[in-house]
């Protein structure tokens, strides 16, 4: 039997961010988070397990990867193979349509696709909850990419992590007018990974406890904003939540500053647009790119204004996207 399968996963951007782990082995977060799965940033991954293979092979965006990057994928394959009796080597080929490690959640779509493809290649059938938990073990944010639309990752409280998984708040067709303008400032890989960065923040930022104190309220307001399609509330909470997370990063010792000067230029332009009556808000992750939230009616005007800024190298437009899914169109 051919033990091969392919999955496509969309990336997601958090509206209420995940930053900090209470358990690094199981990837259990200190706080719950909420995200929007994106329709146009995705990763396609083919996994084949084969007794004939003499080693694991991992190819990401056309390049064979080694070292830590390969080890992380192989560790995940080992985890998936706990469902079967015999462990064999695998070939993994993965392609994303956006730059990796640049603050665009490539590990989210990457590990969500790897999990579904791997599990299917092993001929296992898991529930969405189980897939979310397994994806979480690869990368925390991947737990949310398993589902489409608007998603909450419940932090859970059980030590084994069995209640720390994503659930769907609303499907992707609930609010198709909600738009995200992803501005690309730099495609350089970041110097401090999210994993290392969040661990340092938890240990050293005096603002980290204050961050945690505000999360429950942000989560509740964000859920209300999504279900009632209250764009102003969604934007205000998302922007404020992102700035609070970055305040914990900036006050980490040594400091973690993902912003570039271009990031600030765009953030200020968003505030100016708002002062001019165009409803838009920004959010940022562990990288310099600024993502602008707006409604479809304002999209063209905001996009053309932002496009005029010298610091913007590229722009991608996203709307709420679908859950991770299987395809027969294999990469090899
Ligand atoms: C998020 N980020 O909620 C936050 C906001 C970055 C800033 O999830 O260590 O790559 O693999 O669990 O999932 C990025 O962290 O970290 C992230 P690991 P991950 O989207």
Whether ligand 1 lies within 6 angstroms of the CB of 31 is answered as no
Q: How far is CA 194 from CA 44, 74, 93, 226, in A?
A: 22, 20, 23, 26
Helix, strand, or coil (residue 12): strand
Per-residue pLDDT of the chain (332 residues; tens, 9 = 90+): 889 999 999 999 999 999 999 999 999 999 999 999 999 999 999 999 999 999 999 999 999 999 999 999 999 999 999 999 999 999 999 999 987 766 677 899 999 999 999 999 999 999 999 999 999 999 999 999 999 999 999 999 999 999 999 999 999 999 999 999 999 999 888 889 999 999 999 999 999 999 999 999 999 999 999 999 999 999 999 999 999 999 999 999 999 999 999 999 999 999 999 999 999 999 999 999 999 999 999 999 999 999 999 999 999 999 999 999 999 999 99
Cα(190)–Cα(172) distance, integer angstroms = 30
> What spacing in Å lies between the alpha carbon of 278 and ligand 1's midpoint?
30
Please give the structure tokens belonging to residue 111.
Answer: 């590990």
Q: How far is CA 315 from CA 41, 181, 183, 287, in A?
A: 12, 7, 5, 15
User: What atom of ligand 1 comes closest to residue 136's alpha carbon?
Assistant: 12
Burial 189-207 (b: 16+ CB within 10 A, else e): ebebebeebbebbbeebeb
Sort strands 90-96 and 57-60 into parallel, antiparallel or unpaired.
parallel
Alpha helices for 251-291 (secondary structure H): 261-275
User: What atom of ligand 1 comes closest to residue 107's alpha carbon?
Assistant: 10
Beta strands in 202-329 (DSSP E): 281-284, 290-295, 314-318, 325-327
pLDDT at res. 103:
66
pLDDT at res. 13:
97
Q: How far is CA 252 from CA 6, 206, 244, 255, 277, in A?
A: 40, 8, 13, 5, 36
Please give the structure tokens belonging to residue 64.
Answer: 């064979």
* Per-domain residue ranges of the chain: 2-172, 178-318
Whether ligand 1 lies within 6 angstroms of the CB of 107 is answered as yes
- Percentages helix, strand, coil for the chain (3-state, rounded to 5) are 40, 25, 35
Residue 332 exposed, middle or buried by CB count within 10 Å (0-12, 13-18, 19+): exposed
pLDDT at res. 245:
98
pTM passes above 0.95: yes
- For residue 54, how many other CB atoms are within 10 A of its CB? 7
Cα(295)–Cα(300) distance, integer angstroms = 10
User: Rounded to 5 degrees, what are φ and ψ at 130?
Assistant: -65, -40
Cα(206)–Cα(247) distance, integer angstroms = 10
pLDDT at res. 102:
65
The CATH code of the domain at 178-318 is 3.30.70.890
User: What atom of ligand 1 comes closest to residue 285's alpha carbon?
Assistant: 7
Assign residue 27 a region: left if phi > 0, alpha if psi is -120 to 50, beta otherwise?
A: left
Please give the structure tokens belonging to residue 150.
Answer: 């608007």
Cα(186)–Cα(231) distance, integer angstroms = 28
Selection from 242, 248, 244 nearest residue 266 by Cα: 242
- Residue nearest ligand 1's atom 12 by CA: 140
pLDDT at res. 159:
97
Cα(318)–Cα(200) distance, integer angstroms = 31
Whether ligand 1 lies within 6 angstroms of the CB of 195 is answered as yes
> What spacing in Å lies between the alpha carbon of 190 and ligand 1's midpoint?
13
Domain range 2-172, CATH class? alpha beta
């Amino acid at each position: 039997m051919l033990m091969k399968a392919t999955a496509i996963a969309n990336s997601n951007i958090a509206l209420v961010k995940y930053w900090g782990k209470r358990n690094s082995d199981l990837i259990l977060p200190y706080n719950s988070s909420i995200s929007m799965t994106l329709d146009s940033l995705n990763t396609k991954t083919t996994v084949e397990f084969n007794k004939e293979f003499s080693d694991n092979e991992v190819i990401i965006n056309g390049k064979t990867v080694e070292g830590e990057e390969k080890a992380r994928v192989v560790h995940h394959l080992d985890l998936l193979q706990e469902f079967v009796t015999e462990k064999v080597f695998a070939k993994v080929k993965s392609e994303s349509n956006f730059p990796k490690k640049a603050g665009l959640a490539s590990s989210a779509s990457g590990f969500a696709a790897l999990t579904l493809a791997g599990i299917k290649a092993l001929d296992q059938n898991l529930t969405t909850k189980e897939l979310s938990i397994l994806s979480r073990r690869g990368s925390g944010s991947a737990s949310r990419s398993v589902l489409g639309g608007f998603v909450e990752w419940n932090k859970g409280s059980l030590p084994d992590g069995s209640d720390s998984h994503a659930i769907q708040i609303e499907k992707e067709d609930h609010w198709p007018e909600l738009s995200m303008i992803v501005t690309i400032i730099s495609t350089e890989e970041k110097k401090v990974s999210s994993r290392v960065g969040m661990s340092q923040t938890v240990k050293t930022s005096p603002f980290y406890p204050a961050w945690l104190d505000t999360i429950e309220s942000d989560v509740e307001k964000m859920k209300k904003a999504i279900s009632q399609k209250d764009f102003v509330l969604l934007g205000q909470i998302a922007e404020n939540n992102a700035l609070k997370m970055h305040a914990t990063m900036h006050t980490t010792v040594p400091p973690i500053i993902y912003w570039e000067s271009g990031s600030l230029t765009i953030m200020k332009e968003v505030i100016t647009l708002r002062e001019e009556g165009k409803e838009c808000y920004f959010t940022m992750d562990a990288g310099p790119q600024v993502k602008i939230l707006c409604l479809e009616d304002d999209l063209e005007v905001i996009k053309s204004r932002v496009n005029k800024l010298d610091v913007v190298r590229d722009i991608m437009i996203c709307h709420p996207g679908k859950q991770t899914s299987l395809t027969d169109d294999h990469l090899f």
